[in-house]
Amino acid sequence: MPFFITLEGIEGSGKTTQLLRLQEHLRSLGRQVAVTREPGGCRIADVIRTLLLDPGNDSIAPHTELLLYSAARAQHVAEFIRPALKQGKIVLCDRFADATTVYQGAGRGLDMAQIESINRFASQELVPDLTVLLDYPVEEGLHRARTRNHCGNLESEGRFELESIDFHRRIRQGYLDLAAREERFRVIDALGGEDSVAKRIITAVDQFLTSRRSA
């Protein structure tokens, strides 16, 4: 049975690492898995990703930012996510529309009702079956993300890491507020070693899959 599972969290919360760990686990269970990310996931969306994450593009207006993310998502859903789901795969995605709600809503202060409407349009009404939120302290996450960008020559994708600490605190709280409203969320404590965090995520995902089998 196909499922759409997303991982969300602040910068440096470990989403990318844990997505790969979860992929390995699901494949060990014999499940077909497709892994992707936002912004990006296909050629056109990757081009938009370059525009959005480049620190040199610090003049992007909040409304422009929202529409660029939405354009990338529309292409991603049409070209990658929906076809993979139709093939019966579990799709694991590093960020999705919740990131737009939080970053452009809680972070930038744009109208939440407008964001929700644009998200529905861009995603073709697609909503994750399960969203795993990795909760992590803002200061530690930013330090980890900035170190990663420097050591991995990823400064070209570091525009959001340059935002203020208050911006990132709004992001974390925005995620927690969203998780409190949406039953599909599982909030995971992302503090601790990689193995410990992976076990927490795998437990949550396995419980979700078991509940769907018995439903």
CATH number at residue 48: 3.40.50.300
pLDDT category, 208, cuts 50, 70, 90?
A: very high
For residue range 4-28, what is the model confidence (pLDDT) as tens digits?
Answer: 999 999 999 999 999 999 999 999 9
By percentage, how much of the chain surpasses pLDDT 90? 88
User: How much is the pLDDT for 214?
Assistant: 66
Q: Which residue has the tokens 């927690």?
A: 176
Q: Which residues pair with 131 in a beta bridge?
A: 6, 185
Average pLDDT over residues 115-137: 98
Q: Contact 91/37 with Cβ under 8 angstroms?
A: no
Give CA–CA dist 174/168, Å, rounded: 10
Residue 34 token pair:
């497709």
* Structural domain harbouring 123: 3-214
Q: Rounded distance, CA 119 to CA 126, Å?
A: 9
Tell me what pLDDT residue 203 has.
98
**d(C-alpha 134, C-alpha 10), whole Å:** 8
Q: What is the pLDDT at residue 201?
A: 98
Q: Supply the pLDDT for residue 141.
A: 92
In whole angstroms, give the CA distance from residue 30 to residue 28: 5
Mapped onto helix, strand or coil, the DSSP state of residue 38 is: coil
Q: Is the pLDDT of residue 55 over 70?
A: yes
pLDDT at 145: 86
Q: What is the DSSP letter of 105?
A: I
Instruction: Please state whether 141 falls in left (phi above 0), alpha (psi between -120 and 50) or beta.
Output: alpha
- Bridge partners of 37? 94
Measured CA to CA, the distance from residue 70 to residue 101 in angstroms comes to 11
Contacts of 155 (CB under 8 A, 6+ apart): 55, 149
What is the per-residue pLDDT for 215? Answer: 59
pLDDT given for residue 118 in this prediction? 98
Question: Is the pLDDT score of 33 beyond 70?
Answer: yes
118, 26 Cβ separation under 8 angstroms: no
Q: pLDDT, tens digit, for every residue of 132-191?
A: 999 999 999 988 888 876 676 565 667 898 899 999 999 999 999 999 999 999 999 999
Q: Which range, of 76-80, 93-97, 125-129, 161-165, averages the lowest pLDDT?
A: 161-165
Give the DSSP H or E segment for 130: strand 130-135
Q: Of the ranges 73-82, 83-92, 146-155, 166-175, which one carries the lowest mean pLDDT score?
A: 146-155
pLDDT at 169: 97
Whole-number Å distance between alpha carbons of 103 and 6:
16
Q: How many domains does the chain have?
A: 1
